[in-house]
Amino acid sequence: MSDSLEQDKNLLDKAAVLEGLPEHPALKAILAWSPDALTDAKFDRGELTLTIAEGEIRAALQTVNAAGYNFFEDMTAVDWFPSTPRFQLSYHILSHSFKERIRLRVLLQDAEPVVDSITSVWAGANYYEREVFDLFGIRFEGHPNLRRILMPDEWVGHPLRKDFPVEGYR
């Protein structure tokens, strides 16, 4: 499989990825599960990014987990303020057997979004979701303990949002 993943080959839209990486295990698993949930795909700089429809992310992560992407490595958000959809969540999932990493991405339409928690798939996502909640204000449905983790409990606002003031008194 690693032969097909050349670093210099860039596939920048869904059709090109589907054509260029037909044997990719994560892509195959997602397509077998629900082709509609895959809204976009990109293979850029040696990294595969699969964009998943909002609301399907937990099932999608369950699917790639079953397909051999067994290790939740990282998860975070990006705030694209003022454009819409405003928030993007990026999940980096590693496979110990394929020795490869994929990125699952979900774009959140809502201004105050609520997403399914994936702590039932990987318990290790607990702190990461708390961090995203704390710093971006994205809520995770089904999280066992969704509280601020880095900022003080009484803090107002979510500092990593782009519209959070970076100077002046609060």
Partner 1 sequence: MAETLYTPIVGAPIAEGASDQHMVLNMGPQHPATHGVLRLVLEVDGEIVVRLYPEIGYLHTGIEKTCEAKFYQQVVPMTDRVNYLDPLSNNLCYALAVEKLLGLEIPAKGQWFRVLLAELSRLNSHLIWLGTHAMDIGALTVFLYTFREREEILRLFEALAGQRMMTSYIRIGGVSMDPPLDFMARVQAFILTMPEKIDQYSNLLTGNPIFRNRLKNVGFLSAADAIALSVTGPPLRASGVDFDLRRDMPYSSYEKFQFNVPVSNDCDCWARYEVRLIEMRESVKIIQQALDGMPEGLYSAVAPKIVLPDREKMKTQMEALIHHFKIVTEGFAVPAGEVYQGIEAGHGTTGYYVVSDGTAKPYRVHMRYPSFATLQSLETMCKGRMLADVVAVIGSIDIVLGEIDR
Rule CB under 8 A: say whether 127 interacts with partner 1: yes
Tokens (6 digits) for 13: 């839209």
Secondary structure tally for the chain: helices H, strands E = 4, 7
Which positions from 26 through 45 interact with partner 1, judged by CB under 8 A?
A: 44-45
Residue 59 per-residue DSSP state: H
Residue 87, H or E segment: strand 87-95
**Judged by CB under 8 A, which stretch of 18-26, 55-63, 88-96, 109-117 contacts partner 1?**
88-96
Chain centroid offset of residue 89 CA: 4
Of the pair 14, 92, the CB lying nearest partner 1 is at 92
Rule CB under 8 A: say whether 150 interacts with partner 1: yes
Q: How far apart are alpha carbons 112 and 114 in whole angstroms?
A: 7
**Tokens 């961090």 — which residue?**
131
Could you tell me the smallest distance in angstroms from the CB atom of residue 147 to partner 1?
7
Of the pair 33, 80, the CB lying nearest partner 1 is at 80
Q: Please give the residue ranges that form the binding site for partner 1 (CB under 8 A).
A: 44-47, 49, 70-74, 76, 78-79, 90, 92, 94, 96, 99-101, 103, 122-128, 135, 145, 147-153, 159-160, 164, 166
